[in-house]
Amino acid sequence: QSVLTQPPSASGTPGQRVTISCSGSSSNIGRNTVVWYQQLPGTAPKLLIYNTDQRPSGVPDRFSGSKSGTSGSLAISGLQSEDEADYYCAAWDDSLKGFWVFGGGTKLTVL
Amino acid sequence: QVQLRQSGPGLVKPSQTLSLTCAISGDSVSSNSATWNWVRQSPSRGLEWLGRTYYRSKWYQHYAVSVKSRVTINPDTSKNQFSLQLNSVTPEDTAVYYCARGPGSFAYWGQGILVTVSS
């Protein structure tokens, strides 16, 4: 069981807006920023969002992140077929001596 | 541009030690701002952070509680790389292992190595 909770699947049609949620606790998302990764089959995860709402250079502004309390959210607007992938959230957890925690991943299907 | 290149065996016998190396280009393992991490991914456990090493005037290692008794992550400054050793492996340790550069988030990842624990 992953520490952060994500829906296992999400879907949308081209052009639609899709959101993926990530539920945590006071020791991780409640205290720290949220990170989002995109993973295509057979490849390493790719950084999509850092510091909750910041996009690395090269990531389209169709991708946006936010946080409220102990939950984070990834929004993808203007959905494209190339967005079909697995999406993972992550956050630093301050319990014990601290460690990175991840969500179980959300498989996004573009219909 | 930072690049991480992983190497190591893809098959390890139960009870033996898993050893992987991550060679760094475009950055230094001795950087005062980076952290050097190992993450694994399996269908049963998902993404799991194993630990990190980093230099801040001296070397630090920091491990996940789930593997702390079995894991060692060490830098090799002569070769600009860092390594992962996981002792007493079982089939539960079968996973794709990644190295990644921090801190704060992992912007750079190695290519991943599937390590299977089987006799």
Segment A57-95, tens digit of pLDDT: 999 999 999 999 999 999 999 999 999 999 999 999 999
**Which residue shows structure tokens 């959210």?**
A73
In a mutational test of the B interface, the residue from A100, A101, A102 whose CB has the highest number of chain B CBs within 10 Å is: A100
d(CA B117, CA B104): 31
Q: Residue A29 is encoded by which pair of tokens?
A: 């998302």
Task: Give the Cα separation of B17 and B25 in Å (integer).
Answer: 26
A2 pLDDT band, cuts 50/70/90, is: confident
Task: Enter the DSSP assignment of A31.
Answer: T
Mean pLDDT (whole number) for A16-37: 97
**Amino acid A96: pLDDT:** 84
Contact B105 A97 (CB under 8 A): no
Helices (H) and strands (E) in chain B, counts: 0, 11
Listed as ranges, residues in chain B with pLDDT below 50 are none
Residue from B35, B47, B97 to probe the interface with A (highest A Cβ count within 10 Å): B47
Under the banding of pLDDT at 50, 70 and 90, the label for residue A33 is very high
pLDDT average, residue stretch A99-108: 97
Joined tokens for residue A21? 């949620």
Interface of chain B against chain A, CB under 8 Å? 37, 39, 46-49, 62, 64-65, 98, 104-107, 109-112
